[in-house]
A and B are shown apart, each in its own frame.
Chain A
């Protein structure tokens, strides 16, 4: 079945550092890819998405590019802030006609001032 593998962390960075969280996937067909973020005590919220190969999703300074050849969707941000501290989940849409998402295990990011 479809699956997502992401670096598990935790990741600890200083403010203004560069962030990369790796995500690779295994899927049949051409799934859409997503990054969701979970701030402490909250539910998940969509950070960005890409629906086809070579698409770049971006939001709040975060970016990720759908790479079909490497089956990857790595999350990057050039300069992290303390407010970016959260758990980040990579996910893919499992099948058409359904809202089921397959999530990676999540990566906890802590940004220190």
Chain B
């Protein structure tokens, strides 16, 4: 069974640009979550999608957005990039979507560098 796939793995952008990151969950998983990982703040929740609906959102500015498609694939977008957006962006998928199991399957992440 293929794992969670994130693309691109690495990217470099300049301030003011926008970026789109993609996540393909494990087949059959309907919930996709996104996290930002930085050395200073650790892992911070961005948002979660379940059956194409945003079910939960973290405390990030509106420049961060996402969506989920009917095949459960998800994208997140960051507009007007700032230096502080440099981070590893992790996508995680899960099957049940109930929050009880808690077993998230993570991708290897997309490492964004903003210059």
State the CA gap A71–B42 with chains docked (Å).
21
**In contact, B102 and A98 (Cβ under 8 angstroms):** no
Q: Does B4 contact A (CB under 8 A)?
A: yes
With CB as the reference atom, state the residue of chain A lying closest to B94.
A99
Question: Contact check: which of A43, A46, A105, A106 meets B103 at CB < 8 Å?
Answer: A46
Q: Does B17 contact A (CB under 8 A)?
A: no
Interface SS majority for chain A? loop
State the CA gap A90–B24 with chains docked (Å).
25
State the CA gap A43–B4 with chains docked (Å).
10
**In contact, A100 and B4 (Cβ under 8 angstroms):** no
Interface SS majority for chain B? strand
Question: Contact check: which of A42, A89, A94 meets B43 at CB < 8 Å?
Answer: A89
CB contacts (< 8 Å) of B66 on chain A: these are none
Q: How many residues of A contact B (CB 8 A)?
A: 27
Given contacts A51-B100, A105-B42, contact A100 B56 (CB under 8 A): yes
Q: Does A41 contact B (CB under 8 A)?
A: yes
CB contacts (< 8 Å) of A41 on chain B: these are 108
**In contact, A100 and B45 (Cβ under 8 angstroms):** yes
CB contacts (< 8 Å) of B90 on chain A: these are 43-44
**In contact, A97 and B108 (Cβ under 8 angstroms):** no
Q: Does B106 contact A (CB under 8 A)?
A: yes
State the CA gap A102–B59 with chains docked (Å).
12
Q: Does A45 contact B (CB under 8 A)?
A: yes
With CB as the reference atom, state the residue of chain B lying closest to A46.
B103
Which A residues contact B (CB, under 8 angstroms)? 32, 34, 36, 41-46, 49, 51, 89, 91, 93-106
Q: What are 10 contact pairs spanning A and B, CB under 8 A?
A: A32-B102, A43-B92, A93-B100, A97-B55, A98-B48, A98-B99, A99-B48, A100-B48, A101-B45, A103-B43
